Amino acid sequence: MVVTFSFWTQNYLDLDTTFTLANYREAWTDPLYRELTLRSLRISLVVTVVTVLLAFPIAYHVSFHVHHRKALWLFLITVPFWTSYLLRVFLWKVILGYNGVLNSALLGLGLIDEPLSFILYNANAVVITLAHAWAPFAILPIFVALERIDRSLLEAAKDLGDGPVRSFFRITLPLAMPGVVAATIIVLIPTVGDYITPRLVGGTEGLMISNMIQVQFGKANNAPLGAALAVSSMFIVGGISLLIFFATRKIGRGGAD
């Protein structure tokens, strides 16, 4: 439905259902939309990278250094993430805000003279909040991939002369790659389209394309343009995901096969 909508035109109160590409032209050429799309992509790519980089050591620790009750550990690690999404966003707002917990603490400790303002109502806040929100979804696939690595492979690598760092990059990481790719895609896709987080903690600098889509469907009352924006970003995200998928698959195989 969204796709068909995107080829129509909005005339104040009614829809002109003749086929047109005008919405797409506007979506792809208007500097505002382009800027928002690029910012969305930038933010979500950063979110994805940050999330995966945070998730990997956690998953690694549980998989390799916890020997009993791994499931319980995983559960405990992910418990903070099962609270309501909105609640968590507000929580971050309280923590990161101008008079928030973080600033008060830093002021109280005398580490800063005036509240830090770069942490809320901008892209940084969006990144922190989203990375926190999606961490469990990144931890799980990476954990599963790490669990599936036959430990005798690591012993074999050691036996053949590898120290821990070398065997990590030659064995562990390539074999965990499917999990890392899954985590990347799982985080990337929903964060591009997220509109609650940027609205609440992003300020004007932190607004993303999805907020604009929401505006087009709502206040601006131009559903076809909103639909065109939505479809466009869907294609871009899909393309990037496929790119990541194939690129890492090639690297993971080491060129063989």
Partner 1 sequence: MLDTEKPHARTIIELDGVTKNFGAVQALKGITANIREGEFFSLLGPSGCGKTTLLRMIAGFDDPTTGTITIDNKAMAGIAANHRPTNMVFQSYAIFPHLSVADNVGYGLKKRRLPKAEYKREVEQALEMVDLGGYGPRAAHTLSGGQRQRVALARALIMKPKVVLLDEPLSALDKKLRDQMQLELRQLQRSVGITFILVTHDQEEALIMSDRIAVMFDGQIEQLATPEELYRRPVNQRVASFIGVMNFLEARATKSSETHVSLDVQALGKIDIPRAGLPDGMKPEEIHRVGVRPEMMTILIDGAPSAERIVEGEVVETSYYGDMTYYSVRLNGLEAPVTISMRNTAGRAVLRPGETARVGFATDSIIVFR
CB of 12 to partner 1, least distance (A): 60
User: 27 with 113: CB under 8 angstroms?
Assistant: no
CA 79 to chain CA centroid, Å, is 19
User: 126 with 201: CB under 8 angstroms?
Assistant: yes
Euclidean distance between CA atoms 57 and 7, whole angstroms = 46
Q: Which position among 12, 161, 165, 219 is part of the footprint of partner 1 (CB under 8 A)?
A: 161
Residue ranges of alpha helices (H) inside the chain are 2-5, 22-29, 31-65, 70-78, 85-96, 101-108, 123-147, 151-159, 164-167, 173-192, 196-201, 209-217, 223-252
Site for partner 1 contains 252 (CB under 8 A): yes
Identify residue 57 by its one-letter amino acid code: P
Q: Which position among 67, 71, 159, 219 is part of the footprint of partner 1 (CB under 8 A)?
A: 159
Span of 19-27, 58-66, 112-120, 246-254 interacting with partner 1 by CB under 8 A: 246-254
Restricting to residues 139-158, name those near partner 1 by CB under 8 A: 150, 152-153, 155-158
HSE value, Cβ hemisphere, 13 Å, CA-based, for 5: 18
Q: Which position among 72, 160, 220, 247 is part of the footprint of partner 1 (CB under 8 A)?
A: 160
Q: And the tokens for 218? A: 């709502």
Q: Is 255 helix (H, G, I), strand (E, B) or coil?
A: coil
Q: Which position among 14, 113, 114, 257 is part of the footprint of partner 1 (CB under 8 A)?
A: 257
CA dist list (Å): 149 to 145, 155, 163, 191, 244: 7, 11, 18, 29, 22
50/146 with CB nearer partner 1: 146
CB of 168 to partner 1, least distance (A): 13
Q: Which position among 126, 146, 171, 186 is part of the footprint of partner 1 (CB under 8 A)?
A: 171
54/175 with CB nearer partner 1: 175
CB of 177 to partner 1, least distance (A): 8
142/171 with CB nearer partner 1: 171
Q: Which position among 80, 166, 242, 247 is part of the footprint of partner 1 (CB under 8 A)?
A: 166
The vertex-255 CA angle with 249 and 257, nearest 5°, equals 85
Restricting to residues 174-213, name those near partner 1 by CB under 8 A: 174-175
The binding site for partner 1 (CB under 8 A) comprises 150, 152-153, 155-163, 166, 170-171, 174-175, 252-254, 256-257
